[in-house]
C-alpha cells in the first residue's frame, strides 16, 4: 500500500512536470516567434546585416518581394544556403520584405514560374495595353509611309530624272542624283516594312506560353529606321528646292520637283511626329526584367505598385561551385555579395531620384574613358544608380548638360573635384601651368558655390602659399567658414633601427561616431589619406552662426607630426627614391608648426582636422553643403584597390575611402537616411579604436566597479545568512 502511494505520487509529479515543461515550451515557442533576438559573435559579423541594409529595410513603406527562379538541381549547395540565409535575415529584420524560391526543375516550380510572369504582367496590364494601342496606331502610319515612298516618291523621282536633259555634265549629275534618290526611297520603304513586321512580332511576343507585349522593342525597331528616314526626307526636300530654283533647270523637270516638295515635307513632318511620340514612350517596369524571364531563370525584386521591378544577376547570386573554389570565396564574403545586391536593388526601387556626381578636374583633356584612374569608384557608384560625369574645366568652361541622364532635372547633383599638381610646368606644348590650372578649377568651384551647388572638394599641396600669396581654393573654402594649410602639408617623422624616414601618408580611423552621420558611417574603417592638408575653422566676423562646421577625420598632434613648409623636393621625388634623400624635410621652428593651438597644451590632446563637413544656412533657400577632404588621391584606384590578407582571404586594405566618398555624396545630395556602412565594408574583422570618453568610462568601471561589486556581494551574503 505504501509502495502504491509512492508510485502514485511519483506518477503525479511526473505528470505535473510534463505538463509544466510542455506549457513552458509552448509559451517559449510562441514568444520566440513574436520576439526574437540573435547575437552574432563571429569575428567578421557574417551573421548580421550591415547598417546600410538595416536602414534601407527600416525605411520601407510598402511590401517588397524577392523571387529567385532557377533549376536548383544544378546549383551548388553552398551558394543556395548562403542565398537563403541572407534572404531569411532580410525577412527577419523587416515585416515588409518576403521572398520566394522557385525550383523550375519541378512541375510545381514550372507552374509557379508561369504564375509569376502572369502576376508581373497583371501589375502593368493597363500601361501595356495603352502602349500596344499607340504602337499599333503608329504602325499604320509607318506602313502608309512605306507605301508612299515605294509607290509615289520613288516613281516621281524617276519621272523627274527622265525630264532632265542629259546633254550637259550638270544634267548628267542631276539625272544620277534622282536615280539614286529613287533607289534610296525604295530601300527606305523596304526597311520600314521590315521594321513594322519586327514591331508587330514584338507586340505578339510570348514567354513560356504567356503573352508579353514587348512595347520597348517594338518602339525601338520603328525608331531605328524612322530616324534616318526623317533626315533623308528633309534633305530630299531641300535638294528638290535647290534644283527647282536654279534658272538653268527651268522646265518640266523643275515644275515636277516643285510639286513634289510639299508632299515630301508633309511625309517628313508626319514621320517626325510618330518618331517623337515613340521616343516619349516609357517602357513598363516589367520589360526591364524580360531578358531574365526569357532565360527561364530569374532573380527579381518586386516593389509596391508604382515602384516597379528590378532584375538581378542570377550568376552573381548563385555562383557555380567551381567559381567558389577557384576564387576561394569564404561564406562571409558570398553572404555580403548577396546582401549588397539585394539591398541596392531595394534602394534603387525606393529612391528613383539617385544622385549625379559631376567630377571637375583641370587636366588639359578628358581622360576618364582612357585612363583607369576612377574605375572602381565609377563601378561602385553605378552599381547604386549614381552616374559619374566628367567635367574638364580647362576644355569646357561651362558645366556639362545632364538632360541625357536626367531629362526632368529632378535628380540631386553633387560636384566633386580632383585637384591638379600646382608644381607642374607648362610643358613643351605651351599648356597651362599647374598654378594656372588650379586657378581654373577654383574659379569653376567658386561659380558652383555661388549658385548654391553642393561640393565635395579634395585638396592638394600648393606652391602658391609658399610665395606668400593666397591659394585660389581659399576663396571657395571661405564660403564654408574654412581655410586650409595647402602650403604646409602634414608630414610625420619616424625612427626605425636608427634610420629616419619621413611619411607623407596617414591611415586614420574615426573613434567616436560624433555629431555627423558621415563620420558615423566610416567609424572603425581604415581610411588612407595621402599628403594630408590641415583644415582650420574660420568664421566671418559678420555672422558666424550661418555656417556649421563639423570635423570628420582628425589626426592626433604630436612632436613627430608637423606642418612642413619645405615639402616640394619630397613631392617631386618618386616614393621609392625618397629614402635616398640626404636632407629630408626637418621641423623648422620659425616656419613650421607642430600644434594646432600654437603650442603644447600640457598633456591636453590636440588634433589636426584633415576632413570636415560644412553647411551654410541661406535665407529663403535650401541650405548649402560641402565636404572638404585634405587630400587629393584618396578615392583613386591605386588607393581603393589595395588588398591585404586577413585569415587567408584578400580583403580591401582601405575600406573607409570609398565608404567616405559614397556617404559624403548621400549627405551632400540631402539623402541622409541612406548614410551607413555597406556590407562590403565589413569584409575583414576590425578592432574599433577606443575614444576618449569610452576609455574614461572603462577606467571608472575598473577602478570603482570592482570594489563596489565586492561590497555588494558581501552585503548579499550577510543578508542571506542573517
pLDDT, tens digit, 9 for 90 and up, residues 449-481: 999 999 999 999 999 998 889 999 999 999 999
CA atoms within 13 A on the CB side of 687: 1
Give the DSSP H or E segment for 100.
strand 97-103
Q: What is the DSSP string of 478-510?
A: HTTTEEE-TTS-EEEEEEETTEEEEE-EEEE-B
278 confidence band (pLDDT: 50, 70, 90): confident
Rounded CA separation 302/314 (Å): 15
* 354-380 pLDDT per residue, tens: 899 999 999 999 998 888 899 999 988
422 confidence band (pLDDT: 50, 70, 90): very high
Rounded CA Rg of the chain: 35
State percent of the chain over pLDDT 70: 88
Between 25 and 330, name the one with better pLDDT: 25
Average of per-residue pLDDT across 681-699: 58
Cell reading at 595: 600644434
pLDDT at 43: 42
pLDDT at 95: 92
326 confidence band (pLDDT: 50, 70, 90): low
Average of per-residue pLDDT across 248-268: 86
Contact 676, 688 (CB under 8 A): no
Residue 459's Cβ-count burial label (10 Å; 0-12, 13-18, 19+) is: buried
> Does residue 260 come out as left (phi exceeding 0), alpha (psi in the -120 to 50 range) or beta?
alpha
pLDDT for residue 3 is more than 60: no
Beta carbons within 8 Å of 207's beta carbon, 6+ residues apart: 117, 290, 293, 294
CA atoms within 13 A on the CB side of 251: 10
544 confidence band (pLDDT: 50, 70, 90): low
> Of the given ranges (383-387, 516-520, 527-531), which has the lowest mean pLDDT?
383-387
pLDDT at 435: 94
288 confidence band (pLDDT: 50, 70, 90): low
* Ramachandran angles phi, psi of 286, nearest 5°: -55, -40
- The closest alpha carbon to 243, from 235, 413, 594, belongs to 235
Average of per-residue pLDDT across 665-671: 94
Average of per-residue pLDDT across 254-260: 87
pLDDT at 44: 47
Between 13 and 448, name the one with better pLDDT: 448
* 35-60 pLDDT per residue, tens: 555 544 444 445 578 888 898 898 88
609 confidence band (pLDDT: 50, 70, 90): very high
pLDDT at 74: 87
pLDDT at 215: 87
CA atoms within 13 A on the CB side of 45: 17
pLDDT for residue 13 is more than 70: yes
Amino acid at each position: 500500500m505504501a509502495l502504491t502511494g509512492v508510485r502514485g505520487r511519483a506518477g503525479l509529479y511526473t505528470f505535473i512536470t510534463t505538463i509544466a515543461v510542455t506549457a513552458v515550451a509552448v509559451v517559449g515557442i510562441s514568444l520566440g516567434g513574436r520576439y526574437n533576438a540573435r547575437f552574432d559573435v563571429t569575428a567578421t559579423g557574417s551573421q548580421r546585416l550591415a547598417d546600410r541594409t538595416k536602414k534601407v529595410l527600416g525605411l520601407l513603406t510598402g511590401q517588397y518581394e524577392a523571387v529567385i527562379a532557377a533549376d536548383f538541381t544544378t546549383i551548388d549547395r553552398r551558394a543556395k544556403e548562403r542565398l537563403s540565409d541572407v534572404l531569411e535575415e532580410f525577412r527577419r529584420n523587416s515585416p515588409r520584405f518576403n521572398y520566394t524560391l522557385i525550383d523550375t526543375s519541378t512541375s510545381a516550380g514550372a507552374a509557379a514560374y508561369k504564375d509569376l510572369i502572369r502576376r508581373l504582367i497583371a501589375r502593368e496590364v493597363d500601361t501595356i495595353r495603352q502602349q500596344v494601342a499607340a504602337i499599333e496606331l503608329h504602325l499604320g502610319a509607318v506602313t502608309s509611309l512605306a507605301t508612299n515612298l515605294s509607290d509615289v516618291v520613288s516613281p516621281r523621282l524617276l519621272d523627274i530624272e527622265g525630264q532632265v536633259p542629259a546633254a550637259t555634265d550638270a544634267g548628267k549629275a542631276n539625272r544620277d542624283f534622282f536615280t539614286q534618290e529613287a533607289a534610296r526611297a525604295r530601300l527606305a520603304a523596304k526597311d520600314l516594312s521590315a521594321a513594322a513586321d519586327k514591331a508587330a512580332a514584338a507586340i505578339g511576343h510570348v514567354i513560356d506560353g504567356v503573352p508579353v507585349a514587348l512595347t520597348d522593342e517594338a518602339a525601338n525597331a520603328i525608331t531605328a529606321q524612322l530616324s534616318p528616314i526623317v533626315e533623308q526626307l528633309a534633305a530630299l526636300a531641300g535638294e528638290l528646292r535647290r534644283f527647282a530654283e536654279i534658272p538653268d533647270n527651268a522646265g518640266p523637270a523643275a515644275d515636277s520637283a516643285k510639286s513634289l516638295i510639299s508632299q515630301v515635307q508633309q511625309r517628313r513632318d508626319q514621320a517626325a511626329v510618330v518618331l517623337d511620340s515613340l521616343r516619349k514612350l516609357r517602357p513598363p517596369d516589367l520589360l526591364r526584367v524580360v531578358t531574365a524571364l526569357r532565360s527561364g531563370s530569374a532573380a527579381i525584386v518586386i516593389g509596391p505598385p508604382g515602384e516597379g521591378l528590378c532584375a538581378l544577376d542570377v550568376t552573381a547570386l548563385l555562383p557555380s561551385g567551381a567559381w567558389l573554389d577557384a576564387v576561394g570565396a569564404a561564406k562571409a564574403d558570398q553572404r555580403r555579395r548577396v546582401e549588397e545586391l539585394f539591398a541596392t536593388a531595394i534602394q534603387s526601387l525606393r529612391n528613383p531620384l539617385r544622385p549625379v556626381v559631376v567630377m571637375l578636374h583641370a587636366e588639359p583633356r578628358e581622360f576618364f574613358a582612357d585612363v583607369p584612374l576612377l574605375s572602381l569608384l565609377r563601378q561602385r557608384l553605378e552599381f547604386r544608380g549614381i552616374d559619374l560625369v566628367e567635367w574638364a574645366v580647362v576644355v569646357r568652361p561651362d558645366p556639362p548638360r545632364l538632360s541625357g541622364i536626367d531629362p526632368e532635372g529632378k535628380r540631386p547633383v553633387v560636384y566633386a573635384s580632383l585637384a591638379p599638381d600646382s608644381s607642374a610646368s607648362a610643358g613643351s606644348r605651351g599648356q597651362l601651368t599647374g598654378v594656372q590650372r588650379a586657378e581654373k578649377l577654383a574659379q569653376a568651384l567658386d561659380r558652383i558655390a555661388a549658385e548654391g551647388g553642393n561640393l565635395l572638394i579634395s585638396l592638394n599641396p600648393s606652391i602658391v602659399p609658399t610665395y606668400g600669396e593666397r591659394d585660389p581654393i581659399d576663396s571657395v573654402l571661405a564660403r564654408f567658414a574654412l581655410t586650409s594649410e595647402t602650403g604646409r602639408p602634414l608630414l610625420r617623422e619616424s625612427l626605425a633601427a636608427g634610420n629616419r624616414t619621413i611619411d607623407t601618408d596617414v591611415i586614420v580611423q574615426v573613434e567616436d561616431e560624433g555629431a555627423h552621420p558621415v563620420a558615423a558611417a566610416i567609424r572603425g574603417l581604415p581610411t588612407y589619406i595621402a599628403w594630408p592638408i590641415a583644415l582650420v575653422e574660420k568664421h566671418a566676423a559678420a555672422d558666424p552662426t550661418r555656417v556649421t562646421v563639423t570635423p570628420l577625420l582628425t589626426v592626433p598632434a604630436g612632436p613627430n607630426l608637423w606642418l612642413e613648409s619645405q615639402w616640394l623636393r619630397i613631392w617631386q621625388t618618386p616614393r621609392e627614391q625618397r629614402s635616398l634623400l640626404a636632407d629630408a624635410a626637418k621641423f623648422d621652428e620659425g616656419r613650421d608648426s607642430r600644434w594646432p593651438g600654437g603650442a603644447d597644451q600640457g598633456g591636453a590632446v590636440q588634433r589636426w582636422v584633415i576632413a570636415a563637413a560644412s553647411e551654410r544656412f541661406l535665407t529663403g533657400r535650401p541650405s548649402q553643403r560641402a565636404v572638404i577632404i585634405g587630400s587629393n588621391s584618396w578615392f583613386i584606384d591605386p588607393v581603393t584597390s589595395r588588398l591585404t590578407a586577413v585569415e587567408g582571404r584578400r580583403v580591401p586594405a582601405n575600406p573607409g575611402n570609398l565608404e567616405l566618398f559614397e556617404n559624403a555624396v548621400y549627405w551632400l545630395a540631402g539623402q541622409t537616411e541612406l548614410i551607413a556602412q555597406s556590407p562590403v565594408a565589413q569584409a575583414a574583422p576590425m578592432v574599433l579604436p577606443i575614444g576618449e570618453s569610452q576609455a574614461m568610462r572603462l577606467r571608472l568601471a575598473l577602478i570603482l566597479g570592482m570594489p563596489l561589486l565586492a561590497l555588494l556581494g558581501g552585503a548579499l551574503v550577510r543578508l542571506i545568512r542573517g
